[in-house]
Structure 1
Amino acid sequence: MLLNVIISLLNVIISLKPEVVNSSIPINYENIKAVLSDMFSAGTDTSSSTIDWAMAELIRNPDVMARAQAEVREIFKGRQVIEETDLQKLKYLKLVIKETLRMHTPVPLLPRASRKDCEINGYFIPANAKVFVNAWEMCRDPKYWTNPESFVPERFENNGMDFTGNHFEYLPFGSGRRMYPGMTFGIAGVELPLAQLLYNFDWNLLEGIHRDNLDMTENSGITASRKEDLFVVATPMIHDFSY
């Protein structure tokens, strides 16, 4: 999916090149390479990090893991392949992903710049000041969330809250005109691999490691990935494809 998007973008850029060759920001091979590099990093690092966190939280919460696996295996019973068009049926898995994005916001600090002088809650912010929105803290603020440090996907059931930027206590993709434009693409890049992992394998920690002792420290950087790698044992699920 990502490769197809990048190929389409590359075709558009190349087709525009003759029109902007004399532009103040020319499109040359170095600029094209930089754009494609950004596409790969933004489209893979955050998605893989979210899948990693989701698997870690599912391992730590066996009841959630059991419910998510039961949903996937019931809906796709007898199927050899899960198609992208089938993902809308996975209601509980979507809640798991929402809760993962709440607890482990892919980009915890959203940098912004003020366009003009303003005052917020008594604080003067000059024009062009760099402002960092702490999305991580907002998603764990006990003023807005019950038991914010607990992984509870059910908190998103029947409350209408989503990550489309309309609820300022939950902004994994930002909000407004600077909201992450690849949100739909990024969610699909998490849903499909995660559904495949839950459908085809049973998961357990290595012998001697208890789920309560699993290291959940976050790495420092633009993307809040896990500091330590997640090592688990995957046992293939034997499916009956005779349906």
Structure 2
Amino acid sequence: MLLHLGCIPTLVASSAEAAKEIMKTHDLAFCSRPSLTVPNILFYGSKGMAFSPYGEYWRQLKSLVMLKLLSNTRVKSYKNVREDEIALMIQTLGESCGTTVDLGPILSSLTNNIISRVALRRRLEGPKYTKLLHEFMAALDVFDIGSYFPWLSWVDHFTGSVRKAKKIAIEFDEFLERIIEERLNKKKGEDAESNEEEDFVDILLDVQKNDTTGFTLHTDALKALILEAFAAGTETTQTALMWTMSELIKNPKEMNKLRRELTEIAQGNVMISEEDLEKIPYLKAVIKESLRLHPPAPLLIPRISTQDVKVMGYDIAAGTQVIINAWGIGRDPASWEEPDEFRPERFLNGPINYQGSQFEWLAFGAGRRGCPGIQFSAPVMELLVANIIYKFDIKLPNGIKNEDLDMTEAFGFTINRKFPLLVSVSPRF
């Protein structure tokens, strides 16, 4: 479908065939990003990985992130952080037994704690930080008119969206400046924690100081990468977890099947460990099925064509913005039998993996601009869901039947639940 959003022609792809042509066959022609007002403000002129245009700078940045921050070895090194934080969350749920619990804040706190410990080696807690992160994500939900109607850019100033984005950017910048200054001072001192596991800030500062590849990591780019870790790592993982728990609660048969598999693998142990995850295929199927129905970013991040190209017989001009409708593709009856039904079994023994090699399932995108954090977020989701289902019986409060759970979605850059997920939790043993 071709739309005209102001002066920007916009191609919307809502089928696996179209997505494959854009993200594989013609990936190079479609792997850049449009220049958007609010992301430019929030991410230091779009100097991070998510919104920066395709080119040598982006390629160098991606290489840095994949080799230094998100390699298999690095991700595995944060195993203790994941297990510690999930154990603490399980303890919190256990202390809430007998009461009605809102899972949203608990899951949000968990994902935030994991990201902050990995990025900064400490938790970032408190209402001020939570409010700032919420405002940051809310700013990304705003449709900035000036990016599409340049002659109406004054409207963004009139509505306050630009002013709010600049205010949030300044507050986050002050926070990041304090973090960097604190870390640099610690590195200079005799009490440098050389024996501790390096966090993201340590790694990026070392690259900035010692890199010999010729790529200069400026401080603005360093800050943009840290911001992306918080914005993407916290919000998308928390959203995915909320929908997975919602689907399991709404579908008790599937929840019980997963619990039986978990109980068999656990063999009486107190917790499910990361080593157990590869032995639990139904768990992975549950999460993939939830992500099919509820991709955290339903329209992915827009792309823009850098050259004239032909897609499915149609001529697409250079400068056309491209939106991949991952939500629609995941529910397309041409690709999925009974597409609106929650059926994890469809992913058992199938070819679909997290890397986006099958284009009817695009929870993490695909191609050059696919999500680089797959290896980081997948074990968090799997380990958390496994232990909640293994440790607790979860039902809706006040006698509400599980199948009557309201699954209405809320508008936004990420696709959250419209209503809180209130549950009653009781221990299984």
TM-score, normalising length: structure 2: 0.52
Equivalent pairs counted in the alignment come to 235
Could you list the structure 1 runs, at least 4 aligned residues long, displaced by more than 6 angstroms after superposition.
Answer: 23-26
Q: Give distance in 1, aligned partners of 2:313 and 2:222.
A: 44
Q: Give distance in 2, aligned partners of 1:69 and 1:182.
A: 27
Return the letter of the residue paired with 1:131: V
Per-residue deviation, residues 29-57 of structure 1 (Å, max 9, x unmatched)? x6544422220121121111111111111
Per-residue deviation, residues 200-239 of structure 1 (Å, max 9, x unmatched)? 100111124223332111121121111111011110121x
Q: Give distance in 2, aligned partners of 1:189 and 1:207.
A: 31
Per-residue deviation, residues 108-133 of structure 1 (Å, max 9, x unmatched)? 11211112112323543221321100
Paired position in structure 2 for 1:65: 255
Q: Give distance in 2, aligned partners of 1:24 and 1:91.
A: 41
Paired position in structure 2 for 1:88: 278
Q: 1:16–1:166: structure 2 CA closer, same or farther, 3 Å change rule?
A: closer
Paired position in structure 1 for 2:386: 195
Q: Secondary structure at the match of 1:109?
A: coil
Paired position in structure 2 for 1:35: 225
Matched, 1:235 2:348: no
Q: Which stretch of structure 1 is more off in the superposition, 134-143 or 203-212?
A: 203-212
Return the letter of the residue paired with 1:62: P
- Tell me if the contact between 2:335 and 2:360 (Cα under 8 Å) persists in the aligned partners: yes
Q: Give distance in 2, aligned partners of 1:204 and 1:162.
A: 30
Aligned ranges 1:146-185 → 2 under 5 Å? 146-185=337-376
Per-residue deviation, residues 117-157 of structure 1 (Å, max 9, x unmatched)? 12323543221321100011001000110000000000112
Q: Give distance in 2, aligned partners of 1:17 and 1:184.
A: 24
What percent identity do the matched residue pairs reach? 40
TM-superposed deviation, 1:163: 3.0
Residue in structure 2 matching 1:6, options 119, 131, 144: 119
- Tell me if the contact between 2:208 and 2:216 (Cα under 8 Å) persists in the aligned partners: no
Aligned ranges 1:133-144 → 2 under 5 Å? 133-144=324-335
Q: Which has the higher contact order (CA 8 A, sep 6+)?
A: 2
**Which structure 1 segments of 5+ residues have no match?**
239-243
Paired position in structure 1 for 2:269: 79
Q: Give distance in 1, aligned partners of 2:305 and 2:284.
A: 34
RMSD: 2.1
**Which structure 2 segments of 5+ residues have no match?**
1-77, 79-114, 121-198
Q: 1:34–1:158: structure 2 CA closer, same or farther, 3 Å change rule?
A: closer
Q: Give distance in 2, aligned partners of 1:45 and 1:157.
A: 27
Q: Which stretch of structure 1 is more off in the superposition, 219-228 or 142-151?
A: 219-228
Paired position in structure 1 for 2:237: 47
**Which structure shows the bigger proportion of residues in helix conformation?**
2
Q: Give distance in 2, aligned partners of 1:134 and 1:67.
A: 31
Q: Give distance in 2, aligned partners of 1:59 and 1:16.
A: 45
Paired position in structure 1 for 2:182: none
Paired position in structure 2 for 1:220: 411
Return the letter of the residue paired with 1:6: A
Q: Give distance in 2, aligned partners of 1:59 and 1:83.
A: 23
Q: Which has the larger radius of gyration?
A: 2
Paired position in structure 2 for 1:206: 397
Q: Give distance in 2, aligned partners of 1:12 and 1:212.
A: 47
Q: Give distance in 1, aligned partners of 2:249 and 2:257.
A: 12
Return the letter of the residue paired with 1:151: F
Q: Give distance in 2, aligned partners of 1:171 and 1:31.
A: 27
Return the letter of the residue paired with 1:48: Q
Q: 1:61–1:153: structure 2 CA closer, same or farther, 3 Å change rule?
A: same
Q: Give distance in 1, aligned partners of 2:276 and 2:428.
A: 20
Q: 1:126–1:62: structure 2 CA closer, same or farther, 3 Å change rule?
A: same
